[in-house]
């Protein structure tokens, strides 16, 4: 399957999770093995050398773990508050439609230098900014961000470029 065909499976859901939000539902893409494989392979072409791939809960986990497997790297989860069983670093952040907290184990990046950070959607950039801050707290360095979909009108790329000008950012789809 071609990447374009796979990406066509993403369906917009209006007013989810709140009125005024146009949610990008990737579940049809994920449920098609050929589509998921095509997208994961394409995302891997963006990847620079890395020691680990970090993924942001929840949908970022899916692509990050698949990329880690494909790149023969470890996977580090960045989770919502209260989901990790060990001592954590925490970071609050703003969303397009609210606020939340992300966490990472304090020892998740022991002896790690280069981190590829993966999420499904780049919107305002708040989630990725919080994840980068957490990775730095844990001793890692993000050398690249890869996102499946970027919502250009929300200026997340600009926000991240202003704060982290040396981090390369790649998105498969810019909407």
Catalytic, out of 4, 11, 57, 96: 96
Catalytic site includes residue 59: yes
Phi, psi of 84 (to 5 degrees): -100, 140
How is residue 2 written in tokens? 């071609």
Distance CA 130, CA 117 (A): 11
Catalytic site includes residue 4: no
Distances 74 to 64, 67, 119, 134, 151 between C-alpha atoms, Å:
10, 10, 16, 17, 28
Catalytic, out of 59, 79, 103, 157: 59
Contact 146, 46 (CB under 8 A): yes
The residues that are catalytic are 59, 96
């Amino acid at each position: 399957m071609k990447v374009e065909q796979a990406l066509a499976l993403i369906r917009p859901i209006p007013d989810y999770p709140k009125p005024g939000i146009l949610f990008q539902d990737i579940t049809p893409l994920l449920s098609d093995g050929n589509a998921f494989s095509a997208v994961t392979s394409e995302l891997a072409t963006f990847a620079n050398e890395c020691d680990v791939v970090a993924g942001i809960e929840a949908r970022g986990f899916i692509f990050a773990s698949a990329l880690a497997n494909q790149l023969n790297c470890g996977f580090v989860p960045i989770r919502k508050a209260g989901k990790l069983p060990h001592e954590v670093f925490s970071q609050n952040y703003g969303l397009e439609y609210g606020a939340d907290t992300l966490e990472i184990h304090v020892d998740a990046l022991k002896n790690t230098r280069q981190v590829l950070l993966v999420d499904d959607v780049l919107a305002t950039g708040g989630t990725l900014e919080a994840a980068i801050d957490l990775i730095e707290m844990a001793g890692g360095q993000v050398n690249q961000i890869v996102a499946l979909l970027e919502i250009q009108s929300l200026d997340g790329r600009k926000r991240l470029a202003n704060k982290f000008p040396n981090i390369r950012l790649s998105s498969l789809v810019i909407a």
